[in-house]
Amino acid sequence: MMMVRKSKGLGERHQKILDFVLAYQRENRYPPSIREIGEKTGITSTSVVNYYLDQLEKMGKIERDRKISRGVRISGPNASADTLRVPILGPIAAGIPLPELDPNVSYLNDNEANAVDIARSLLPAKEKGDNLFALEVKGDSMIDAMINNGDIVVMKPASEARNGEMVAVWLPRDNEATLKYFFKEKDRFRLQPANPTMKPIFIKKTEPLEIKGKVVMVIRKMDRPLAA
């Protein structure tokens, strides 16, 4: 396990939490939940975990975003120097158009809180991380792909896709965006859910269909951190 350098005045539990948060994020590509921190550091109460996290935040060792689950990350000299802040542009499958994505335009303001931090080193090897954006999943059409309501999908802009790729698609016909597996068929496109109770969406090739992005990674919201 990678260790965070211990600072003067840092207690054993503080150190265990720092080490676990860093190791977990390197391995899983997203921060741990409050419950996971407690389980792996021997703390049975989530309120006690929050107590130590508050202390670490005051020490400048971590940063916390209480608006989102898994909103803990290492800060200061222990943080990755190559961390991406990816804007969460909005929901997917909620009837809201996705913006036209321009690689030369930043959609994240300096004071924008609705974002997720990702270490560039944790992205897939071939992915540079340029122009990534994120969407919050609404609905359960992709549950068999381990993507649930409230999860965050990190995406790279794309206007084309190969069969079997998971994409965000804007459907002018239905005035909605959706997250599905993409397939080209003889005279139509098939947007396949990962839920056996749901039927695929068929779009004729003569009808408009706009691919907006491909999924790079998923940040799962297992639970919500308790307020301090």
Active-site positions? 141, 180
Is residue 57 helix, strand or coil?
A: helix
- Residue 27 — φ and ψ, nearest 5°? -80, -40
CA-to-CA distance for 35 and 27, rounded, in angstroms? 17
Length of the chain measured in residues: 228
Q: Which residues have CB under 8 Å from 69's CB, separation 6+?
A: 33, 150, 221, 222, 223, 224, 225
The one-character DSSP state at 212 is E
CA-to-CA distance for 155 and 6, rounded, in angstroms? 36
Nearest-10 crossing angle of helices 34-41, 46-59 = 100
CA-to-CA distance for 53 and 62, rounded, in angstroms? 8
